[in-house]
Structure 1
Amino acid sequence: GLMWGMIYLFPRLLDAITDPIMGFISDNTKSRWGRRRVYVLIGSIIMGVAYIFMWQLFKENSLEYNFWYFFFWSIIFYLGLTFFSVPYVAMGYEMSDDFHERTNIMAVAQWIGQWAWVIAPLFWLIMYDPEWFPSADVAARELAIWVAIPCAICAMIPALFIKSESTLNEDYEPLNLSNIGGSLTKIRDSFKEAFKIKEFRKLCLSTFFIFNAFNTVASLTFFVIVYKLFNGDAGASGVWVSLFGCLGALGTTFIVIPIVTALSKKLGKKKAFMICQSISILGYLMLYFLFIPGKPWLYILALPFFSFGIGSLFTIMMSMTADVIDIDELNTGKRREGTFGAIYWWMVKVGYAIAGALSGGIIWLVGFDSDLATIEQQGAVDGLHAFFCFFPMLGTLAAMFIMRNYDVTEKRASEIRSQLDKRKSLNNGVNTSFYGLNKLESLMSLKGKSSYLTDVKDDISLYELKSAFQKSLSSKLHGICFSPYREGQNVNQRLSGTQIDERMEVIAPYTSWIRSFSSRNGNELIPLSARSKGLKSMIGAWVSGNEAQNNLEIESLIDLAKKGQVDIAVVGNEVLLRDELPMEVIIDYLKRVKKALFNTPVGYVDAYYQFVDHPELIEICDVLLINCYPFWEGCAIGKSTAYLNEMYEMVKQVAGEKPIIITETGWPNEGSENLEAVPSMINAMKYFVNVTNWSKDKGVEIFYFSSFDESWKVHQEGDVGARWGIWDKDENFKY
Structure 2
Amino acid sequence: MDAPPSRAAEARGDPPLGPGTRIAFGFGAVASGVKNQGFAYFLLIFYSQVIGLDSRLVGLAITIALVFDALSDPLVATWSDNLHSRWGRRHPFIYASALPLALAYLLIWNPPEGWSDTALFFWLMSLAVLIRTLMTFFEVPATALAPELVSDYDARSSLLSLRTFFGWTGGNLMSVLMFAAIFPAFVTADIENGQFNRDSYTVYAFIAAGLIFTAILVAGLGTHRHIPHLKPPPPKRALTLRLLVRETFETLHSRSFAALFGAALLGAVASGLAAALAFYLYTYFWRFSSLQIALLTSGVFVSAVIGGLLAPFISRRMGKKRGAILVGLAAFIGSPLPILLRLMGILPDAPWAFWFVLGATLIDVGLIICFQILVASMMADLVEQAEVRTGRRSEAIFFAATSFAGKMVTGLGVTLASFLIAAAGLKAGASPTEVPADVSSRLGAYYAPTILALWMTMMLVLSFYTIRREDHQKNLDLLAVRRQTVS
TM range (shorter): 0.7 to 0.9
What is the deviation of 1:196? 2.3
Q: What's 1:34 paired with?
A: 88
- Pairwise CA distance, 1:171: 4.1
Which of residues 150, 156, 162 is equivalent to 1:96? Answer: 150
Q: Residue type matched to 2:201 in 1?
A: A
Q: Contact 1:86/1:338 (CA < 8 Å) preserved in 2? A: yes
In structure 1, the partner of 2:41 is none
Which of 46, 69, 75 is the equivalent residue of 1:21? 75
Q: Distance in 2 between matches of 1:208 and 1:305?
A: 25
Aligned equivalent of 1:207: 264
Aligned residue type for 1:396: W
Structure 1, 403-412 or 360-369: larger mean CA deviation: 360-369
Q: Does 1:245 align with 2:300?
A: no
Superposed counterparts of 1:51-450, under 5 Å: 51-122=105-176, 123-130=178-185, 136-162=197-223, 163-165=226-228, 171-174=234-237, 179=239, 182-183=240-241, 185-230=242-287, 237-247=289-299, 249-280=300-331, 281-289=333-341, 292-295=348-351, 296-369=354-427, 371=430, 378-428=437-487
The answer as to whether partners of 2:273 and 2:416 remain within 8 angstroms in 1 is yes
| 8 Å Cα contact 2:76/2:140 also seen in 1 | yes
- 2: CA distance, partners of 1:388 / 1:156: 39
Q: Does the CA-based 8 Å contact 2:182-2:203 persist in structure 1? A: no
How far off its partner does 1:188 sit?
3.7
> Does the Cα contact within 8 Å between 1:274 and 1:400 map onto a contact in 2?
yes
AA paired with 2:309? P
Instruction: Please give the secondary structure, in 1, of the residue aligned with 2:456.
Output: helix
How far, CA to CA, are the matches of 2:175 and 2:233 in structure 1? 46
Query: Contact (CA 8 Å) 1:207, 1:313: kept in 2 or not?
Result: no
Q: Higher Cα Rg: structure 1 or 2?
A: 1
Identity %: 18
Is the Cα contact below 8 Å between 2:174 and 2:208 reproduced in 1? no
Classify 1:375/1:74 alpha carbon distance in 2 versus 1 (closer, same or farther; 3 Å). closer
In 2, the alpha carbon distance for the partners of 1:390 and 1:243 equals 26
Number of residue-to-residue matches in the alignment: 416
1:222 counterpart letter in structure 2: F
Three-state SS of the structure 1 residue aligned to 2:441 is helix
Distance 1:399 1:171, change over 3 A: closer
Compared CA separation, residues 240 and 170, structure 1 to 2 (3 A)? closer
AA matched with 2:419: G
C-alpha separation between the residues in 2 aligned to 1:87 and 1:373?
A: 43
Structure 2 distance, partners of 1:168, 1:261, is: 25
Query: 1:110 touches 1:315 (CA, 8 Å); kept in 2?
Result: yes
Structure 1 pair 191–380 and aligned structure 2 pair: CA distance change class (3 A) = farther
Q: Distance in 1 between matches of 2:247 and 2:449?
A: 36
Counterpart Cα distance in 2 of 1:62 and 1:385: 32
Q: Deviations over 1:161-198 (max 9, x none)?
A: 312128998543558xxx4xx43x44543553344211
Q: Structure with the greater relative contact order (CA < 8 A, sep ≥ 6): 1 or 2?
A: 2
Report the structure, 1 or 2, having the larger strand content: 1
Q: Is the alpha carbon distance of 1:223 and 1:140 closer, same or farther for their aligned partners in structure 2, counting shifts above 3 Å?
A: closer
Task: Tell me by how many angstroms 1:48 deviates.
Answer: 1.4
What is the one-letter code of the residue matched to 1:240? Answer: Q
Residue 245 of structure 1 aligns to which amino acid in structure 2? T
1:303 partner letter = T
Question: Is the Cα contact below 8 Å between 2:80 and 2:90 reproduced in 1?
Answer: yes
Q: Could you tell me which amino acid in structure 2 is paired with residue 284 of structure 1?
A: P
Unaligned runs of 5+ in 1: 231-235, 429-735
| Mapping of residues 560-571 of structure 1, within 5 Å | none
Q: Name the aligned partner's letter for residue 305 of structure 2.
A: F
Q: C-alpha distance in 2, partners of 1:152/1:5? A: 27
Partner of 2:30: none
Q: Secondary structure at 1:164's aligned position in 2?
A: helix
* Range with bigger deviation, 295-304 or 67-76: 67-76
The 8 Å contact of residues 260 and 312 in structure 1, kept in 2 or not, is answered as yes
Bigger drift between 70-79 and 316-325 goes to 70-79
Equivalent position SS for 2:72: helix
Matched AA of 2:269: N
Flag the 1:202–1:238 CA change in 2: closer, same or farther, 3 A.
Answer: same
In 2: Cα distance, 1:166 partner to 1:103 partner:
21
Query: Which residues of structure 2 form unaligned runs of 5+?
Result: 1-53
Q: Following the alignment from structure 1 to structure 2, what is the Cα–Cα distance between the partners of residues 368 and 61?
A: 24
Q: How does 1:279-678 map to 2 (within 5 A)?
A: 279-280=330-331, 281-289=333-341, 292-295=348-351, 296-369=354-427, 371=430, 378-428=437-487
Tell me if the contact between 2:336 and 2:448 (Cα under 8 Å) persists in the aligned partners. Answer: yes
CA contact (8 A) 2:283 2:289 kept: yes
Change (3 A) 1:215 1:121: same
Query: Shift of residue 307 of structure 1?
Result: 1.2
Between Structure 1 and Structure 2, which shows a larger proportion of helix residues? 2
Rate the CA distance shift 1:72–1:306 in 2: closer, same or farther, 3 A: same
Cα offset, 1:208, TM superposition: 2.8
Residue 29 of structure 2 corresponds to none
The one-letter code of the counterpart of 2:401 is I
- Aligned AA (1:24): T
For 1:216, the aligned partner's letter is L
Structure 2 vs 1, CA of residues 394 and 101 (structure 1 numbering), >3 Å: closer, same or farther?
A: same
TM-score normalised by length of structure 2: 0.77
> TM-score, normalized by length of structure 1?
0.52
> CA-to-partner distance for each residue in 1:65-111, whole Å, 9 max, x for gaps?
44433433333222211211111111122111111111011001111
1:664 maps to which residue?
Answer: none
Q: 2:307 is matched by which residue type in structure 1? A: V
Instruction: Assess, with a 3 A threshold, how the Cα gap between structure 1 residues 272 and 139 changes in structure 2: closer, same or farther.
Output: same
CA distance in 2, matches of 1:229, 1:5: 23
- Compute the displacement of 1:131 (Å): 5.8
Contact 2:78 2:396 (C-alpha < 8 Å) held by counterparts: yes
Q: Is the 8 A contact 2:339 2:444 kept in 1?
A: no
Query: What is residue 47 of structure 2 aligned with on the other side?
Result: none
Aligned to 1:458: none
Compute the displacement of 1:300 (Å).
1.3
Query: CA 1:169–1:287 in structure 2 vs 1: closer, same or farther (change >3 Å)?
Result: closer
Alignment deviations for residues 370-417 of structure 1 (CA, whole Å, 9 cap, x no partner):
659899865553332134333332223222222334331111110111
Cα 1:224–1:54 change in 2 (3 A) is closer
Pairwise CA distance, 1:202: 1.0
1:111 partner amino acid: F
Contact 2:186/2:200, CA 8 A, preserved across alignment: no
Contact 1:226 1:237 in 2 (8 A): yes
Task: Indicate the SS of the match to 2:384.
Answer: helix
